[in-house]
Structure 1
Amino acid sequence: MREAAFVKQNKEKWIAFEKAINLGSKTDPDELADGYIQLTNDLAYAQTYYAESKTLLYLNALASQAHQKIYKNKKESRNRILDFWGHEFPLFFRQYHKTLGISFLIFIVAVAIGSISALNDSTFVRLILGDAYVNETLNNIANGDPTAIYKSGSEIGSFLGITINNIRVAFLAFAFGVITSIGTAYILFSNGVMLGAFITFFYTQGVFFEANKQIWLHGTIEISVIIVAGCAGLIMGNSILFPKTYSRRVSFMKGAKDGLKVVVSTLPFFIIAGFIEGFITRYSNMPNWLAFTIIWSSLTLIVFYYLIYPILLHKIHAEKIHRAQDQP
């Protein structure tokens, strides 16, 4: 995009934000917080394509002015990595909660389809999971240990292999967004169908509780962040389908960058899930209270980090901007 077109497309938004900061406008604090996030996105774009331009100087000055008013009493973090996961990403991710909801809906519908299919067609599970896996699991069930498959291999080997595979699935869900959201929806749908068939298989064998107690030890985080990775792919895919006021190329570049941020945020959680599956899930004789404590703690962690914390951080950010408006 030419610089003149970039300025024409966004100047009214920048001017409105500048007035809100300088003149104590009574604009909704939430809108101001969104405006600040959009401004920093535009600044990053200008830094890439309009180096040493007047536009870049203006945006840099405006962002610095806003940041100084909002965070004038805050010391800059020296740890960029911790700042990304602790502040930058959650604040950024708030804008994509609706997209996360769509990703979740696609996955849940697929789980339901997989479950219903497995209940009504005894051959469906073999089609989805493969004969070798089904036969081995049936033997494990007959031997009184439905999840014995998680005990195979060394702990460290299992941890590394599982973590790498889960990260591969996450990046695959993101990468398929390059063929629009349909590609990512396919990855979410296929994984959802597989999960539905997998869980229902244990139900039909009469070991639903015993199996799920172990599976969801690691599965709570693993499945949740696959849905988050699907959200990343939908962000990129939607940027192609719905460019809004941007050119399709610029919209795609922004969507790819935003989606990559989201998928990168999942890496620590995949490591946690891999650790649980490699070192903890194999202990099928653990007390029920301990298993469900781990499951609910995992669910609480995911819900807090991706849903509750971004909302709280966004409100705090909006309040800081609101207070900054009334200061000289």
Structure 2
Amino acid sequence: MNRHEFENKNGSDWNKFELQLENSKGKKGTSDNHKLPSRFRKICYDLSLAQYRMFGQQICDRLNGLAIVGYRQIHRKRGAFGEGFLHFFLGTFPAAFRREWKLFMVVSFVFLGPFFAMWWSADKEIEWVQALLGAEAMSDIEGMYGKDANSVEYLRQEHGSNFMMFAHYINNNVGIDFRIFAGGIFFGIGTLFFLIYNGLYLGAVVGYVEYAGSPELLWKFVAGHSSFEILGMLVVGMAGLKIGFALLAPGQLTRGEALTRAGRGGLPLLIGGACMTSLAAV
């Protein structure tokens, strides 16, 4: 094959690759983005062939330029922070959640069972609720959700400013998430304990408000904030149980290897759950 035949045979491929690179620079995107790696390999092969057969400086320079730009395009860093953020919450996080949906069923049962049991018990034996909450917690609940209470004003008086309210909320709830996740290292027992305890405690809060406060104030808060907070806690619980189950049944892996693999798989759940919990504070 001479230079002319070589150029006629492969020129259309070079033009397509060059056009695709131009579109990528302009961030227009193309429907054949998946072809970029294979076209890049073809350019590299043609470049080596052109150099080996000495088809001329002009062809070699063109192919070399395409190879350099193609390499940068394929190995470029992910664009802006926003792009990575969207990729995580629209792709990585949902995919990790779907893979572990059975764990979601487990943590939901472990949390909601005690929650509804304690809520129900408030209507039968309020002493159980009072014993779990204690005098200080009941006083705080009455201050926020009493019949004539203003929860925002009460919290502002307690913490001094809106920012300090926000900081306290984040510190408390992210701290709970961390304990739930870290409890997985004890073969999942710690995760189960904190999920059960939080189910009992929140059920007691709801039951006490129904007994002595204004349920309407509580449910307004739940509708605006607690849905994200509780879902985030359950997602973090999924990550904790994933670690616990990996340690309980490592299979052919050592427990260290199983822990590492489960940690990588559970990291998107931990990050996603913590972000949901933080969103509840907004």
Q: TM-score range by the shorter chain?
A: 0.5 to 0.7
Deviation of the 1:261 alpha carbon: 2.7
CA distance in 1, matches of 2:191, 2:162: 32
Amino acid in the other structure paired with 2:128: F
Gaps of 5+ in 1: 1-68, 276-328
CA distance 1:139–1:81, shift in 2 (3 Å): closer
CA contact (8 A) 1:199 1:212 kept: no
CA distance in 2, matches of 1:139, 1:162: 16
Task: Give identity over the alignment, percent.
Answer: 23
Deviation of the 1:255 alpha carbon: 1.2
Please, which of 274, 279, 286 is the counterpart of residue 281 of structure 2? Answer: 274
CA contact (8 A) 2:141 2:209 kept: no
CA distance in 2, matches of 1:264, 1:141: 31
CA distance in 2, matches of 1:194, 1:210: 18
The equivalent residue for 2:224 is: 217
CA contact (8 A) 2:119 2:204 kept: yes
CA distance 1:114–1:70, shift in 2 (3 Å): farther
CA distance in 2, matches of 1:91, 1:139: 42
CA contact (8 A) 2:145 2:213 kept: no
The equivalent residue for 2:200 is: 193
CA distance in 1, matches of 2:143, 2:79: 54
CA distance 1:71–1:188, shift in 2 (3 Å): farther
Is 1:263 paired with 2:270? Answer: yes
Amino acid in the other structure paired with 2:205: F
Provide the aligned length of Structure 1 versus Structure 2: 207
1:236-315 equivalences under 5 Å are 236-275=243-282
Which moved further from structure 2: 239-248 or 227-236?
239-248
RMSD: 2.7
CA distance in 1, matches of 2:95, 2:34: 15
Q: Relative CO higher for 1 or 2, CA cutoff 8 Å, sep ≥ 6?
A: 1
CA distance in 2, matches of 1:122, 1:202: 11
CA distance in 1, matches of 2:258, 2:132: 37
CA distance in 1, matches of 2:87, 2:143: 49
CA distance in 1, matches of 2:121, 2:36: 58
CA distance 1:168–1:210, shift in 2 (3 Å): closer
Deviation of the 1:270 alpha carbon: 2.4
Which moved further from structure 2: 113-122 or 162-171?
113-122
CA distances 1:230-283 after superposition (whole Å, capped 9, x unpaired) = 1110111011112234333321221122223311122332222112xxxxxxxx
Please, which of 111, 114, 120 is the counterpart of residue 107 of structure 1? Answer: 111
Amino acid in the other structure paired with 1:227: L
TM-score, scaled to structure 2: 0.65
The equivalent residue for 1:233 is: 240
CA contact (8 A) 2:146 2:213 kept: no
Deviation of the 1:94 alpha carbon: 2.0
Amino acid in the other structure paired with 2:87: D
CA distance in 1, matches of 2:96, 2:33: 16
Please, which of 118, 124, 128 is the counterpart of residue 124 of structure 1? Answer: 128
CA distance in 1, matches of 2:259, 2:150: 46
Please, which of 190, 213, 222 is the counterpart of residue 183 of structure 1? Answer: 190
CA distance in 1, matches of 2:236, 2:149: 32
Which moved further from structure 2: 264-273 or 137-146?
137-146
Amino acid in the other structure paired with 1:120: K
The equivalent residue for 1:170 is: 177
CA distance in 2, matches of 1:180, 1:136: 35
Deviation of the 1:200 alpha carbon: 1.1
The equivalent residue for 2:101 is: 97
Gaps of 5+ in 2: 1-31, 38-72
Deviation of the 1:78 alpha carbon: 2.2
CA distance in 2, matches of 1:93, 1:255: 14
Please, which of 68, 90, 97 is the counterpart of residue 86 of structure 1? Answer: 90
CA distance 1:236–1:70, shift in 2 (3 Å): farther
Larger radius of gyration between Structure 1 and Structure 2: 2
